[in-house]
């Protein structure tokens, strides 16, 4: 019986180690780089992006996350989420436009979010949006995909 307990403990330790190694490997498979840029229209009317650290109220800031698959295997159905920072309001601009939004960080729906008020469906103001998420259907081996959202400084 004692021998059985020792074997069982060794087996459990091996399974736990193997699981932890798989999790670590999965974590290393995806690299994310986040940038914040001020959105500006130049003299020709073209949108340009300028790195920013601080900005006055009313400034439009784009948060962009670039996800890179670092392994030699495709990643399927990758769900990525970007929070809308405190003191910022989502503008309604998300790239790609397939983003879903949430006002509580748990329940997501297509944009624009709607709710029932006095028996009528009305749009939820962008100021109540807290996070956006995207489903990247396929991120090929050694390739990148980017998602972005625009906000205004409150």
Q: Going by C-beta distance under 8 Å and a sequence separation of 6 or more, which residues neighbour residue 145?
A: 66, 67, 78, 136, 139
CA dist 32 and 16 (Å) reads: 27
**Helix (H), strand (E) at residue 20:** helix 2-28
Going by C-alpha positions, the residue among 97, 78, 95 that lies closest to residue 32 is: 78
Q: Which domains does the chain have, with CATH numbers?
A: 30-153 (2.60.40)
pLDDT tens for 62-120 read 999 999 999 999 999 999 999 999 999 999 999 999 999 999 999 999 999 999 999 99
Task: Decide: 111 and 98 in contact? Cβ < 8 Å.
Answer: no
Q: What is the mean pLDDT of residues 2-23?
A: 35
Going by C-alpha positions, the residue among 124, 123, 131, 122 that lies closest to residue 151 is: 131
Going by C-alpha positions, the residue among 146, 59, 58 that lies closest to residue 50 is: 59
pLDDT tens for 19-49 read 333 333 455 789 999 999 999 999 999 999 9
Mean pLDDT of the chain: 85
CA dist 92 and 49 (Å) reads: 18
φ/ψ bin of 6: left (φ > 0), alpha (ψ from -120 to 50), beta (otherwise): alpha
The CA-atom distances, in angstroms, between 68 and each of 13, 20, 31, 114, 133 are 32, 22, 5, 33, 17
């Amino acid at each position: 019986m004692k021998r059985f307990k020792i074997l069982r403990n060794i087996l459990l330790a091996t399974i736990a180690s193997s699981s932890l190694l798989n999790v670590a490997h999965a974590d290393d498979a995806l690299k994310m780089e986040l940038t914040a840029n001020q959105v500006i229209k130049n003299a020709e009317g073209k949108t340009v992006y300028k790195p920013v650290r601080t900005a006055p109220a009313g400034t439009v800031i784009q948060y962009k996350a670039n996800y890179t698959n670092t392994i030699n295997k495709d990643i399927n159905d990758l769900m990525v989420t970007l929070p809308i920072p405190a003191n910022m309001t989502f503008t309604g601009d998300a790239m790609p436009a397939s983003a879903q939004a949430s006002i509580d960080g748990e329940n997501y729906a297509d944009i624009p979010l709607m709710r029932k008020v006095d028996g009528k469906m009305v749009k939820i103001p962008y100021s109540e949006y807290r996070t956006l998420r995207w489903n990247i259907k396929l991120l090929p081996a050694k390739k990148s995909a980017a998602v972005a959202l625009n906000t205004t400084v409150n």
